[in-house]
Structure 1
């Protein structure tokens, strides 16, 4: 799991659309859909699901598992940033 896939998930959460998420990231719908299929296959539960149409026309949404994954990734990213800052300061003191 890398930053690109996390950002794709975040954009899908924001727009409710794989197509709009792909456009926001400057990638094709086909590539975005392939990444989503890979992500859904990596876990025991899907991360992205289609929502059937209705008045709003349907769309795509994240599952609770995807939301937890994004949260965990962002927390790890913050922890890593803090570690790097601490290590950098320690090196400066040498």
Structure 2
């Protein structure tokens, strides 16, 4: 690889990480942020608004994650006199932690490989 690189350039690896199944993406940076916002705001609608995304898009992402997970990552409650809401489940909280750890290892891998390119 080194013979392909111009010595006057500063190269680095860059990339995005996501976890997917045959059905499509399961978890990635955007979905992780959506889970975190739902946990913070208690609502898919408010989380979508905070992220600048439509409610339908957020709902579709939550539905996709829930369908692909062993147990749902988000639990919803329909509206009533007190209104509806959403809660990130224990499985959802575990998914946030696990994906953040995976993302850290991915960043470490890219830094290590960047150092190898520059050595």
Q: Does 1:41 align with 2:102?
A: no
Name the SS for the 1:49 alignment partner: strand
CA distance in 1, matches of 2:82, 2:112: 48
Quote the RMSD (CA, aligned, Å).
1.9
TM-score under structure 1 normalisation? 0.87
Q: Distance in 1 between matches of 2:69 and 2:101?
A: 20
CA distance in 2: counterparts of 1:88 and 1:39, whole angstroms: 32
The 3-state SS of whatever aligns with 1:27 is: coil
TM-score by length of 2: 0.70
1:20 to 17, 41, 46: 46
Uncovered stretches (5+) of structure 2, i.e. residues with no partner: 1-26
More helix per residue: 1 or 2?
A: 1
Structure 2: how far apart are the matches of 1:18 and 1:53? 12
Q: Which has the higher contact order (CA 8 A, sep 6+)?
A: 2
- Residue 74 of structure 1, CA deviation: 0.5
| Aligned position for 1:62 | 88
Deviation at 1:44, TM superposition (A): 2.3
For the pair 1:91 / 2:117, whether they are aligned, the reply is yes
Which of 107, 115, 119 in structure 2 is aligned with 1:81? 107
| Aligned residue pairs, count | 93
- In terms of Rg, which structure is larger? 2
Unpaired segments of 5 or more residues in structure 1? none
